[in-house]
Amino acid sequence: MSRLSSSFNKSVGCAAFTFFLLVISVLPALAVENIATYPPLPAGYSSIRVFDNQGRFVGRILTENRYWVSIDRIPVFLQKAVVAVEDSRFYEHGGIDVRGIARAVVKDVVKGRMAEGGSTITQQLVKNKFLSGEKTIDRKIEEARLALEFEKKYTKSQILEMYFNEIYYGNGAWGIAQAARLYFDKNPEELTDGECALLAGVQKAPGRYNPLGKSADVVKRRDVVLKRMVELKMITRRQQQALRDHPPTVTQASQVPYYIAHVRNNLVERFGQQIIEQGCLEVTAALDLNLQKQAEKALRDGVKRISPSLQGALICLDPATGDVLAAVGGVDSAKNSYDRAFVAQRQPGSSIKPFIYAAALEQGVTAGSIWNDTPVAYNQGNGQDWKPLNYGGERYGDLTLRQALAHSNNVVTVKLLDKIGVPYFVNFAGKVGLPLRTQNLSLALGTEEVTLKDLVLAYTPLANGGSRPVPRTIIRVFDRNRGTWTENPPAVTTVLAPATAFVTTQMLKDVLVYGTAKGLKKFSQERPAAGKTGTTNDYRDAWFVGYTPQMVTGIWVGYDKPRPGGKGFTGGGVAAPIWGQFMRSALTGKPARDFVKPDTVVSVSIDPATGFLATPACPTKRDEFYIPGTEPTEFCPKHGGDTVKPSPAVSSPSDADGDEEEGGNERAKDE
């Protein structure tokens, strides 16, 4: 009984509204200004197509501007199809189709719900352009008034032209110009009948029926369009069947949206915004599509294994050229397009420490020098002291600088920064591509925010013998209109002494052997690799930047709204495993190469417990690397050094990792 009552009420309401429309049709209509238009679509416009470094298509860059398409550039088939399915009496009514409304009322009553509306094309146009989408009587009255005025002011052809240029086609495409380009990479006049049939069905539900939607839904809606055209004798049944049997190919969506967005930004930076509106370009990107897909999978799988709400980012560079081989700004670009690789800034934690150690090497400090990690208080200048502690509060006592870096020792790093001076380090960091503004010792703990892109770029001189490349996402651009190429060759600058880069790298190898990323020890045994973890306070951000001679890859994992990730949420525990998964697949088929030792590096055998030259009596020995003139010249006094004659340093290659006894306390603690 209640259902019948509800249906009756709806039918009465609809009938009353229909009568009201008849009444207002004789009332004075509201004044309507000329509808706003957009610049006309340039003849021969084409999108910017992007290919990877192997020539594989990866996506397109579309204009953000809306362009106006005159009715003569809109296929007649598309005009007929839209009229058939949206407003079959378009050329007969005066803006409001009373018969259509009455028909809708009957269907609503039969189905017991608001199953069908009676809006004309003109009403849809004025609603999209001037009104909100709320379903109220007031809005419908306003819509009807404007529709009546439009019909008096404009011809049917003009109204249809406005309609095609104003309606939404889904996926950010407003108007037929953007829709034709997005879904078929064509101008409207180039659309086939099959493509027109797909686009004609979109208006009913753009999110569901757009050509990139679920195939079954899109095809079903297209068939409704074709069936209606047959009923109105616009096409024959034979034409209908032919169109159903030969569906059009929808242009592939961009496979790498984060990377495409960065290519677009680079084009604008180099050539200005007008280059996007000009179109007709083919861009060869530095991207390796296979690596990109591997990066996306490694990041997605690694992050989601921890938490579905967690986010991450990955960047992989060729250290020799600066080519951005892969860049992933998040775990799901479809749900969230924010770029955490190039844009987001977070505290890097201990992943900044290698640059403090490299700066110290250039001031004569050595990897084999002995440091003590007893905490020291520093005056902050405000009457308060700052006393940095190691992560977890542990103490190692005396240890070499190499060991301090491997264990990510906070106390030693602060002491080291204090020794070389903050201004010196800030200048040094700027040379390697890491802009810093902080002017206090807290820099040693990675408190200043950086982007993943800048951090990974700063590591490239360590992998590349001291040379820093400019990051490159575009290799060359071809202008299809002019038939000309614009090359973008690599740009590389020497920023570190080769010896500094090499010795720092040898120290960072130990991070993967017994240090904070010792979970990657097996990887480091298969391929020479170096890197550094980073974990910020309260486990908020987890980092790992690691490299081989062929690739530098950085990983960040965290929450968009920073919050603790829980105990164990460290660079070594979270980010390093993702790095390992990606790098294993990325380097498959590539030869294992070691870092080339420059002639300016010498190697001597030392006792790591004292930092002096090893004697035959020293229980532990390791070959350590030095910049010439900084190597020890005296033998270990604890093990009979007074009785051994000094010998010249040797510069032959040696095992940078030392014997297994050297590791000492192998607890992998990150700050």
Assign domain 312-474+488-586 one CATH number from 3.30.530.20, 3.40.50.2300, 3.40.710.10, 3.40.50.300.
3.40.710.10
pLDDT for the residue 12 = 40
Q: In the chain, what are the helix, strand and coil shares in percent, each to the nearest 5?
A: 45, 15, 40
Greater confidence (121 vs 666) lies with 121
pLDDT for the residue 325 = 98
For residues 183 and 145, the answer to whether their CB atoms sit within 8 Å is no
Tell me the pLDDT tens digit for each residue of 66-116.
899 999 999 999 999 999 999 999 999 988 877 766 565 455 445 554 444
* Tokens at 546, concatenated: 């690691």
pLDDT for the residue 1 = 39
Mean pLDDT, the chain, rounded, equals 88
pLDDT for the residue 216 = 97
Distance CA 455, CA 441 (A): 19
pLDDT for the residue 336 = 86
Tell me the pLDDT band of 138, cut-offs 50, 70 and 90. Answer: confident
Look at residue 18 and tell me whether its pLDDT is greater than 70.
no
pLDDT for the residue 117 = 54
Tell me the pLDDT tens digit for each residue of 380-401.
877 789 999 998 889 999 999 9
For residues 564 and 382, the answer to whether their CB atoms sit within 8 Å is no
pLDDT for the residue 112 = 52
Look at residue 5 and tell me whether its pLDDT is greater than 70.
no
Look at residue 660 and tell me whether its pLDDT is greater than 90.
no
Question: Which one is catalytic: 46, 254, 333, 350?
Answer: 350
Distance CA 536, CA 534 (A): 7
Percentage of the residues of the chain whose pLDDT score is greater than 70: 87
pLDDT for the residue 113 = 45
How many helical (H) and strand (E) elements, i.e. helices and strands, does the chain have?
Answer: 22, 20
Mean pLDDT value across residues 266-290: 93
- Chain-centre distance for alpha carbon 323: 16
pLDDT for the residue 495 = 97
For the chain, which residues make up each domain, given as ranges?
Answer: 2-42+64-245, 312-474+488-586, 602-650
pLDDT for the residue 655 = 37
Positions of E strands within 432-590: 450-451, 467-469, 474-479, 484-487, 492-494, 530-535, 541-547, 552-558
The arrangement of secondary structure in 2-42+64-245, i.e. its CATH architecture, is Orthogonal Bundle (1.10)
List Cα–Cα distances, 614 to 125, 606, 626, in angstroms: 87, 4, 15
2-42+64-245 and 312-474+488-586 in the same fold: no
Tell me the pLDDT tens digit for each residue of 431-442.
999 999 989 999
Tell me the pLDDT tens digit for each residue of 300-326.
999 999 999 999 999 999 999 999 999
Question: Which one is catalytic: 86, 151, 161, 631?
Answer: 86
Query: Catalytic site residue 671?
Result: no
Comparing CA positions, the residue from 87, 81, 65 lying closest to residue 200 is: 81
For residues 411 and 445, the answer to whether their CB atoms sit within 8 Å is no
Mean pLDDT value across residues 157-162: 95
Comparing CA positions, the residue from 545, 460, 452, 456 lying closest to residue 496 is: 460
Query: Catalytic site residue 47?
Result: no
Greater confidence (91 vs 7) lies with 91
Mean pLDDT value across residues 7-25: 44
- Token pair 């500094």 is found at 500
b or e along 631-649 (b: 16 or more beta carbons within 10 Å of the residue's beta carbon)? bbeebbeebebeebeeeeb
Percentage of the residues of the chain whose pLDDT score is greater than 90: 72
pLDDT for the residue 13 = 47
Distance CA 613, CA 633 (A): 7
pLDDT for the residue 253 = 75
pLDDT for the residue 133 = 64
**Phi–psi pair at 623, nearest 5 degrees:** -85, 125
Look at residue 219 and tell me whether its pLDDT is greater than 70.
yes
For residues 409 and 392, the answer to whether their CB atoms sit within 8 Å is no
